[in-house]
Chain A
Amino acid sequence: QKEVEQDPGPLSVPEGAIVSLNCTYSNSAFQYFMWYRQYSRKGPELLMYTYSSGNKEDGRFTAQVDKSSKYISLFIRDSQPSDSATYLCAMSGGTYKYIFGTGTRLKVLA
């Protein structure tokens, strides 16, 4: 079993839809969680950073962590074509080493 599982997609949604992106993990020691957005042939851009459980909101983005279920989510409200990218989750148990998911490709159709 991989430490971090992420559906590769692609996920296609119409403009304005609410998007839900998810990762599951197996290591209960993980407590630092990040979401990155990566456009084609670019480096990952940090979107959200959360510690432990709970929700965090930043503009149209909401990150949720459910440590009891070992499940994290990123919600995008009012999705735009410019949100079309690959979204990576990453998590760490308190070392320098973050474990990344393989990424979910999102396409927002105009």
Chain B
Amino acid sequence: ETGVTQTPRHLVMGMTNKKSLKCEQHLGHNAMYWYKQSAKKPLELMFVYSLEERVENNSVPSRFSPECPNSSHLFLHLHTLQPEDSALYLCASSVEKVGNEQFFGPGTRLTVL
């Protein structure tokens, strides 16, 4: 595997389900990000982890819960989501240095019924 990988690529869940998105980076980076991409909207930064500590949380609803067990893996735990949470969820990574390039994974297409 190379670059940034994400699983699953597609997910359909009911509003009462609990699911998790997984991201893994193979670039030797030490900062990882979760973004939400909705139609006709700019990418929204949800969470940033640097050196495995969360450094930024942009007032994301508590039904989204991130976890970063090490510098290569990032999870987004989902529970009791709403239909408006349906979107493409993108993971990215970068070298732990502000202003550095961010490299994205292919995304997980989430549909909440």
Contacts and interface: CB of A to CB of B under 8 A. Distances in A.
Nearest to A102: B42
B107 A43 contact: yes
B104 A34 contact: no
Nearest to A89: B42
Interface residues of A, number: 27
Contact of B101 (A43, A46, A96, A103): A46
Contacts of A100: 42-43
Contacts of B55: 96
Contact of A94 (B45, B56, B98, B107): B98
Interface of A: 4, 8, 31-32, 34, 36, 41-46, 49, 51, 88, 90, 92, 94-103
Interface of B: 4, 6, 31, 33, 40-43, 45, 48, 50, 55-56, 88, 90, 94, 98-99, 101-107, 109
